Amino acid sequence: MKSKEKAKQAIFYSYTRYINGFAAILEDEEAAEISKHPEVVSVSRNRISQLHTTNSWGFLGLERNGEIPADSMWLKARFGEDVIIGTLDSGVWPESESFNDEGMGPVPSKWKGYCDPNDGIKCNRKLIGARYFSKGYEAAETHDSSYHTARDYDGHGTHTLSTAGGRFVSGANLLGSAYGTAKGGSPNSRVASYKVCWPRCSDADVLAGYEAAIHDGVDILSVSLGSGQEEYITDGIAIGAFLAMERGILVVAAAGNDGPDPGVVGNVAPWILTVGYSTISRDFTSNVILGNNKQYKGVSFNTNTQPAGKSYPLINSVDAKAANVSSNQAKYCSIGSLDPLKVKGKIVYCTRNEDPDVEKSLVVAQAGGVGVILANQLIIQQIRPRAHFVPTSVISADDGLSILTYVYSTKSPVAYISGATEVGTVAAPVMADFSSPGPNFITPEILKPDITAPGVNILAAFTGASGPTDVPGDRRRVHFNFISGTSMACPHVSGIAGLLNTMHPDWSPAAIKSAIMTTATTISNVKQPIANASLLEANPLNYGAGHIWPCRAMDPGLVYDLTTKDYVNFLCSIGYNSTQLSLFIGKPYICQPHNNGLLDFNYPSITVPNLSSNKTTLSRTLKNVGTPSLYRVNIRAPGGISVKVEPRSLKFDKINEEKMFKVTLEAKKGFKSNDYVFGEITWSDGKHHVRSPVVVKKMAVAA
């Protein structure tokens, strides 16, 4: 520029702490001139971007490029206005901005709940209930005063409650990452917290929470907890969910995080909407740049950054082990395994294992290290960013081997870890590695999970009492945090269920569940089948009916409906007797014989776990919840199985009209299999597409 004075006037930001640069108002010619300077790396325009959401709701189609389109389910459902969503969880941090009540009207008159004031808890027109139940846990565990409050000292409950029903909060971020606007699925809902986890959750407390929530008047219950597969009438979560279903309350529950081994899905009762978890189209990348200028892509949150371009000595953790520590302990950067004299001022190469990733970065930080390159192992599938204590990049196993080769072939190896960059072009959804898959071992005829939803790297409100990691001694405090798991996917579905409840207050819990399941998608954002964690094609045992598609669910056309009597008949068909069921439902009941009771159960998916003969026929009934229309069936048969549907078309003339159809499954001649095969049946009138997965297993038969 022509003068120093003009240059000073043009500059409005000088970056000296982490970036060597400036921002200024320049003419095109001036920018071009500066770009020619040999010490200038780049000159770029000041691009204007929309504020980014916490991303998952945009990925689900409720908003687009930061704007809410006219056809968004949010607008049509008035953002879930006055629906009441409750959670059974670890409590709530009421001071979170996600629960502010600005502009909200009076609490709905049907609400009978209250706010327990212990530990300074205050409710408002948004957070209308906060209660705790600890007697079951206290009976079995040593306890302290924190067990007498609904306040969330863990963070899990605040995270799930805000995901389901949190308000719009601008400026949400985790230590600088994912800066944008946080929001829940039903932002105008009323929310209530029932603390039943300390952090473990006693069935006694869970049932007490259910009872209170039902009495208080919740419309949707979100349950991000579980204990594997239990018999239905002895499982506290299933029992409470049945009681809620009887009173028109849909219970949405997490499938569990015990995958990828088959058959570990939890919360499998058919009256529960069971949710698996998968990725969204966002990632956080951080490059490792070695002294030989080779770069390796890793993942990281932007919680710490190193000065741009400055390289640091690089050491393998095994070569930095402390005295009297095994090489194996040092390899995994276990607590106390590193020698500060060898680590100080260096980037340390560590290897992942079952210990928390963030614990390794703390070990390095405490030893005086300035960064961590954390290499995956082949047996550990997915890599996720965490809130590390020093700049950290988590890399693949193959890249880790390449970096080690560099370390041992170079006299003075050095490296630099770049700051994290948010990337929005990732193929998604991909099923998460730990999402618990089917089959359902208690009742294999009921496909579980029912649905999958975003559950990886979900940013939502957090407690002010704990740090963003599970590492003891993490004294950092944040307003929002990233957490992954079916616990995070579950409240996404609960929020959508809340919107559906607002739009269709006359729908039964089964109708809401059916609408969500039959409108789900099995195709990713890159027009390919949803993949599993190994990037192979996933199937209904992983994702149930598919990935939730909210805007389709608000107008499903047809639903598979069920009543309390249908569920009791289901229990009868799986072996519970009249006495047991009479006690379970609290009134006399006599089991009636059902020749095909399980297979004819009117579930939105079809599963035949043992095609015991060459041919099986079952039935389903559809209810019209849309306009009069003619639906025709389209069949994609499972491999080796022929599928026949009668009739081939269903004509509905009025609302709530029901029509039955039969499905005949037959193994083709020569078909040999001892595994599940998958297909689907779709009823369509041209506008609506009512799709049900078909899952069949038949033992090998002779040719």
Q: Are 371 and 306 in contact (CB under 8 A)?
A: yes
**Is residue 25 over pLDDT 80?**
no
| CA pair distance 30, 403, nearest whole angstrom | 41
Of the pLDDT bands very low, low, confident and very high (cuts 50, 70, 90), residue 165 is very high
Give the length of the chain.
703
| CA pair distance 26, 366, nearest whole angstrom | 45
Quick: pLDDT tens for 621-674: 999 999 999 999 999 999 999 999 999 999 999 999 999 999 999 998 878 778
**Is residue 195 over pLDDT 60?**
yes
User: Which residues, other chains included, contact 166 with Cβ-Cβ below 8 Å and sequence gap of 6+?
Assistant: 96, 98, 99, 182, 183, 184, 187, 191, 460, 461
Residue with tokens 């709701």: 57
C-alpha radius of gyration, the chain, whole number: 28
Mean of per-residue pLDDT scores for the chain: 89
Of the pLDDT bands very low, low, confident and very high (cuts 50, 70, 90), residue 424 is low
Domain ranges of the chain: 70-275+431-553, 283-423, 558-562+602-697
- Mean pLDDT is lowest, of 205-214, 372-381, 547-556, for 372-381
Q: Summarize the confidence of residues 583-604 as an average pLDDT.
A: 86
Q: Which of 134, 202, 361, 487 is catalytic?
A: 487
Find the DSSP H helices in 95-202. 135-140, 156-165
Q: Which of 41-45, 217-221, 301-305 has the highest mean pLDDT?
A: 217-221
Q: Are 614 and 701 in contact (CB under 8 A)?
A: yes
**Is residue 115 over pLDDT 90?**
yes
Half-sphere exposure of 436 (CA within 13 A, CB side): 30
Taking domain 283-423, whether its CATH number is 3.50.30.30 is answered by yes
Q: Summarize the confidence of residues 516-542 as an average pLDDT.
A: 96
pLDDT (0 to 100) of residue 26: 72
Residue with tokens 């939890």: 266
Q: Which of 68-77, 374-383, 425-434, 518-527 has the highest mean pLDDT?
A: 518-527
Q: Summarize the confidence of residues 331-360 as an average pLDDT.
A: 95
- Mean pLDDT is lowest, of 23-27, 308-312, 323-327, for 23-27
**Is residue 299 over pLDDT 60?**
yes
User: How is domain 558-562+602-697 classified at the architecture level of CATH?
Assistant: Sandwich (2.60)
Cα distances (angstroms) measured from residue 235 to each of 30, 239, 266, 568: 71, 6, 11, 16
Of the pLDDT bands very low, low, confident and very high (cuts 50, 70, 90), residue 12 is very low
Taking domain 70-275+431-553, whether its CATH number is 3.40.50.300 is answered by no
**Is residue 701 over pLDDT 60?**
no
Q: 423-457 burial by CB neighbour count: b if 16+ within 10 A, else e?
A: eeebebbbbbbbbbbbbbebbbbbbbbbbbbbbbb
Q: Are 327 and 359 in contact (CB under 8 A)?
A: no
156 among known catalytic residues: yes
**Is residue 559 over pLDDT 60?**
yes
Quick: pLDDT tens for 506-526: 999 999 999 999 999 999 999
pLDDT (0 to 100) of residue 19: 36
pLDDT: which is higher, 223 or 7: 223
Q: Which of 82, 96, 98, 156 is catalytic?
A: 156
Cα distances (angstroms) measured from residue 100 to each of 106, 124, 189: 14, 8, 12
pLDDT (0 to 100) of residue 636: 98
Bridge partners, residue 195, by sequence: 89, 132
CA 337 distance to own-chain centroid: 34
Q: 134-159 burial by CB neighbour count: b if 16+ within 10 A, else e?
A: bebbeeeeeeeeebebbbbbbbbbbb
Identical topology for domains 70-275+431-553 and 283-423? no
- Mean pLDDT is lowest, of 403-412, 572-581, 683-692, for 572-581
Quick: pLDDT tens for 565-580: 999 999 999 999 999 8
Q: Which of 89, 205, 561, 600 is catalytic?
A: 89
| CA pair distance 631, 474, nearest whole angstrom | 58
**Is residue 50 over pLDDT 50?**
no
| CA pair distance 405, 133, nearest whole angstrom | 55
What is the secondary structure of 5-66 as a DSSP string?
HHHHHHEEEEE-SS-SEEEE---HHHHHHHHTSTT----------PPEE-SHHHHTTS-BTT
89 among known catalytic residues: yes
**Is residue 585 over pLDDT 70?**
yes
Cα distances (angstroms) measured from residue 60 to each of 52, 168, 548: 14, 17, 8
Q: Are 387 and 481 in contact (CB under 8 A)?
A: yes
| CA pair distance 338, 336, nearest whole angstrom | 6
Task: Phi first, then psi: give them for residue 367, nearest 5 degrees.
Answer: -90, 0
Residue with tokens 């990452």: 177
Q: 257-269 burial by CB neighbour count: b if 16+ within 10 A, else e?
A: bbbbeeebbbbbb
Residue 693: closest CA among 548, 543, 576, 588: 543
Counting residues of the chain whose pLDDT is more than 90, the rounded percentage is 71
555 among known catalytic residues: no
